[in-house]
Amino acid sequence: MLNLLTRAIMMSTPLLLGALAEVYAERTGMMICAIEGIFLIGAWGGFVGAYLSGSLALGLLAAVAAGIAMALVYAFVTVTLRQQQVVTGTALNILAVGVCAFFQRVLFGVPTTPLQIDTLPKLPVPLLSRIPLLGEIFFQQNILTYLAYILIPISIFVLYKTSLGLTIRSTGENPVAVDVAGINVNRVRFLTVLAAGGFGGLAGSFYTVGYLGMFTTSIIGGRGWIAFAICFLGNWSPKGAVLGTLAFGLADAISVYFRTGTTVFPTELIIALPYILTIVLTIFRSNFQVPAKLGVPYSKEN
């Protein structure tokens, strides 16, 4: 059980990073529907960077760069050219699979043994890791998990207590007012999407650099979309994203726990529960705070 919770925290790391990125972007009115592709290209970028340079740090850097590159295309088409976000995201998610598989082959050919890289080492935090129970669950993780811990308070602070956060929130609620205040709406959206792409890429690299040490195009397997869902489930707030991540993480851990042996117990129900919860909350929660201009391109002319 203890192992299970440690694993749940570990597997929640990329989801939280992705969900926080999505929260920020959606607060400016931009759904990042390409998040699945950004995760994938981040995973690949991290793998290639680490493999070619032999340095995990450079791998993580490459993952961030890859995520930003994909977000750049997404932002150009959706913000600058004002095209449909859902559709652009769909296209980019498909493109990401092709790009990764194709250039993986270009770079490495068909290797006889699967290419491997070292993974991020576990870094037990001095003192804290020796707390019984909690220490093992929370403080014997890798550096990306600690980064996620630190990002929780920072993201709450920036979004609610700084003028940057105010700008971001207003851009999704009332872009006209932001425009009148002399702030370039589309620049705010563009830059937020780029930043979110960087964090999304980092989140994706968790699967290669932080966990498996290898790359396949099915490595993300819909987890980008889970981060997307967590953003909705968490009511577009960083705090909610943390709770949402725990809900999805726990459901995942519990279903693994029950899967030992052949059981008729519907573990699928537990995996589906967070999705059902998201649907139910979407329908019945009266204070569901969808950013007013979510998914709506902004143009001064209308």
User: Would you tell me which residues interact with other proteins (CB under 8 A)?
Assistant: 73, 77, 81-84, 86-88, 90-99, 101-106, 109-110, 217, 222, 225, 229, 232, 264, 266, 268-269, 271-272, 275-276, 278-279, 282-284, 290, 295
Give min distance, CB of 297 to other proteins, in A: 10
Burial class (CB in 10 A: 0-12, 13-18, 19+), 122: middle
Smallest separation, CB 96 to other proteins (Å): 7
Tell me how crowded residue 178 is: count the other CB atoms within 10 A of its CB: 22
CB of 131 to other proteins, least distance (A): 36
Nearer to other proteins, 61 or 96 (CB): 96
Least Å from the CB of residue 295 to other proteins? 8
Contact call for residues 148 and 199 (beta carbons, < 8 A): no
Measured from the CB atom, the residue of 106 and 180 that comes closer to other proteins is 106
Closest separation between CB of residue 103 and other proteins, Å?
7
Helix axes 267-284, 223-233, angle to 10 degrees: 40
- CA geometry: angle 228, 233, 234, nearest 5 deg: 95
Nearer to other proteins, 134 or 290 (CB): 290
Which one, of 100, 17, 35, lies nearest residue 71 by Cα? 35
**205 within 8 A of 42, measured Cβ to Cβ:** yes
Closer Cβ to other proteins, 25 or 120, answer by number? 25
